[in-house]
């Protein structure tokens, strides 16, 4: 076991949106190894390039104690190992723990007596101790809480958000013994200027993380359902929300597409555990169903708009502005924009997708979509503003409308343009 005066050698396993910013913060203060199995990712980082656009070349250069590797054996030189690999869901909406298990296996094979393994990946309560720890024990031959220890400190990274960096967000911490809980808390306190919150157990910290995004998911599901109802009534959802928002305790949520690797995924981890224990969650899954259906709902509204304007849906040329799961971020994982495109293609519309943030290669490999380089003026029957990228905001009404044919329709998912400048919005 270590105290903070010891010679801490840190390793961060998984250098995505969560792991890299964390490694950078620790790398400013102490020896930190950034490890990833993706050799190309490691090579790019060694050259000062972060393709997630979360960290600049200058920021990478300002980490005197940070090194990168894709060689698992290099982990043997670390004594505090932080696991930040993704925890997605599979096509059946069940937790996919394969990356977490693989990372635990790699860590276990390189674990030394006295080491501390801290998990940041979002999981259901109990996963660290019931799934990860046995793998560490099996691979290392060491005994938990005697030869090595564990902690859990859930990630709170918000991709694309430059106002709330890793150091500016309060960090929940926990440990497998009271002493380790203190150590983990003090370790993060060295880099988290916003402060820390020490939870009484690993399970408590896991549960806190998984409900953060479940709460947001349900609130967005509520306003999405309200948007559907208000469209039937014939009132503008944004105007209703503005009016209701004048009350001090009204929550400022807006309707939209709920994708990405957090809000659209994490609730399924909690519902999976609940069902495993014999309880069928109703409210959480109802919210998930509403949010999962919004892409198709948008597409159906486009089809109605085209028909009302006597534009044939079959062969209609449709431009979708934005593919990423959120604005000003290149991440296309679990984006719900794909649901809009797929549904429109089912009706034989010709769909172009333009996104200056997304990678063409990733769009092609993940979704079979060939992104266009630039929208052509006067080409489209329908234009859908699906993501609120700053580039689209800067375009304004005239520029966006210029992509359309003389007769065209605009559907604004993200309230970028004024209500009177578009034909419909959520």
User: Which residues have a catalytic role annotated?
Assistant: 262
Q: Phi/psi of residue 150, each to 5°?
A: -140, 160
Q: How many CA atoms lie within 13 A of 68 on its CB side?
A: 25
20 Cβ contact partners less than 8 Å away, ≥ 6 residues apart: 12, 34, 45, 50, 52, 54, 55
Backbone Cα Rg of the chain: 23
Cα 267 from Cα 213, distance rounded (Å): 7
Q: 3-state DSSP call for residue 161? A: coil
- DSSP bridge pairs for 410: 383
Cα 261 from Cα 28, distance rounded (Å): 28
- Look at phi and psi of residue 66 and say left if phi exceeds 0, alpha if psi is from -120 to 50, else beta: beta
Cα 143 from Cα 146, distance rounded (Å): 6
- Tokens for 172? 């929940």
Cα 57 from Cα 34, distance rounded (Å): 16
CB 89 within 8 A of CB 96: yes
Cα 346 from Cα 368, distance rounded (Å): 15
100 Cβ contact partners less than 8 Å away, ≥ 6 residues apart: 83, 85, 87, 119, 121, 123, 127, 131, 132
User: If you search the block for the tokens 């555990």, which residue do you land on?
Assistant: 273
CB 166 within 8 A of CB 136: no
Quickly count: other Cβ atoms within 10 Å of residue 7's Cβ.
8
CB 41 within 8 A of CB 19: no
């Amino acid at each position: 076991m270590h105290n903070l005066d010891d010679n801490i050698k840190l390793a961060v396993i998984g250098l995505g949106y969560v792991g890299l910013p964390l490694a950078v913060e620790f790398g400013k203060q102490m020896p930190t190894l950034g490890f990833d199995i993706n050799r190309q990712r490691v090579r790019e980082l060694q050259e000062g390039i972060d393709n997630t656009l979360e960290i600049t070349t200058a920021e990478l250069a300002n980490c005197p104690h940070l090194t990168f590797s894709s060689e698992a054996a290099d982990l043997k030189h670390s004594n505090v190992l932080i696991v930040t690999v993704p925890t997605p869901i599979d096509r059946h909406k069940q937790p996919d723990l394969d990356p977490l298990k693989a990372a635990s296996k790699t860590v276990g094979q390189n674990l030394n007596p006295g080491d501390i393994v801290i998990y940041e990946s979002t999981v259901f309560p109990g996963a660290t101790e019931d799934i990860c720890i046995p793998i560490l024990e099996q691979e290392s031959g060491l005994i938990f809480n005697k030869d090595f220890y564990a902690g859990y400190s859930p990630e709170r990274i918000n991709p694309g958000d430059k106002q709330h960096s890793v150091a500016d967000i309060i960090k929940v911490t926990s440990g497998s013994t009271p002493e380790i809980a203190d150590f983990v808390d003090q370790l993060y306190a060295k880099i988290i200027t916003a402060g820390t919150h020490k939870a009484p157990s690993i399970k408590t910290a896991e549960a806190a993380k998984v409900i953060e995004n479940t709460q947001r998911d349900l609130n967005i599901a509520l306003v999405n359902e309200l948007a559907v109802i208000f469209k039937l009534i014939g009132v503008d959802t944004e105007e209703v929300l503005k009016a209701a928002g004048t009350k001090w305790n009204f929550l400022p949520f807006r309707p939209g597409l709920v994708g990405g690797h957090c809000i659209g995924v994490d609730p399924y981890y909690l519902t999976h555990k609940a069902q495993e224990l014999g309880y069928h969650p109703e409210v959480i899954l109802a919210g998930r169903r509403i949010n999962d259906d919004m892409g198709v709902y948008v597409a159906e509204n486009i089809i109605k708009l085209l028909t009302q304007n006597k534009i044939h849906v079959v062969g209609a040329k449709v431009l979708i502005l934005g593919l990423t799961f959120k604005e000003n971020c290149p991440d296309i994982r679990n984006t719900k924009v794909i649901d809009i495109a797929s549904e429109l293609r089912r009706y034989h519309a010709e769909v172009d997708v333009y996104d200056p943030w997304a990678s063409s290669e990733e769009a092609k490999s993940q979704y079979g979509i060939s992104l266009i380089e630039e929208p052509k003026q006067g080409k489209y029957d329908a234009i859908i503003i699906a993501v609120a990228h700053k580039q689209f905001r800067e375009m304004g009404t005239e520029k966006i409308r210029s992509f359309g044919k003389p007769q065209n329709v605009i559907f604004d998912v993200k309230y970028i343009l004024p209500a009177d400048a578009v034909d419909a919005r959520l």
